[in-house]
């Protein structure tokens, strides 16, 4: 049973069909989307919708077991997590941006937001509610 409304019907359908370990990517407007994953383009204009709006909506519907972000999003020393990562239910793993893009190939779907902040991207692995 749905707990709340999502931003987009196609996104809602993808989340409803996700199984344990399935991968969903939420990205900024500049993240390249490889062939393979379903592309859900939510961008209406520069900055609309914001990455955080989409992330919050997805997290309200999806049980997340693991999250991965690009190390480059964490500052030069890799110690400063982006402010939006506080919304994640657990500390995200860090990989290089090149590794992040490689992992995207295995995604069930990639969601493109209107965000124009570099490295506002996250890989979410679906978990189970129990």
State residue 1's pLDDT score.
46
Catalytic site residue from 2, 17, 20, 48: 20
Query: Distance (Å, rounded) from C-alpha 10 to C-alpha 44?
Result: 15
On whether the CB atoms of residues 25 and 124 are closer than 8 A, the answer is yes
Q: Which strands, in side-by-side order, build the sheet including 38-41? A: 38-41, 109-112, 23-27, 122-126, 64-70, 93-95
On whether the CB atoms of residues 57 and 51 are closer than 8 A, the answer is no
On whether the CB atoms of residues 124 and 14 are closer than 8 A, the answer is no
- Residues 37-50: pLDDT tens digits? 999 999 999 999 99
State residue 75's pLDDT score.
79
pTM for the structure as a whole: 0.91
- Stretch among 5-9, 11-15, 18-22, 88-92 having the lowest mean pLDDT: 5-9
On whether the CB atoms of residues 97 and 28 are closer than 8 A, the answer is no
State residue 94's pLDDT score.
94
Told to judge if 20 belongs to the known catalytic residues of this protein, a careful annotator would answer yes
């Amino acid at each position: 049973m749905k707990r709340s409304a999502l931003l987009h019907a196609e996104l809602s359908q993808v989340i409803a069909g996700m199984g344990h370990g399935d991968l969903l990517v939420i990205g900024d407007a500049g993240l390249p989307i490889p062939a393979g994953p379903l592309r859900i383009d939510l961008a209406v204009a520069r900055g609309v919708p914001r990455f955080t709006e989409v992330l919050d909506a997805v997290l309200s519907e999806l049980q997340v077991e693991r999250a991965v972000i690009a190390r480059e999003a964490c500052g030069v020393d890799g110690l400063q997590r982006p402010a939006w990562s506080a919304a994640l239910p657990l500390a995200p793993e860090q990989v290089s941006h090149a590794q992040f893009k490689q992992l995207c190939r295995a995604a069930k779907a990639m969601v493109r937001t209107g965000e124009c902040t570099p490295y506002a991207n996250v890989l979410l692995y679906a978990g189970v509610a129990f």
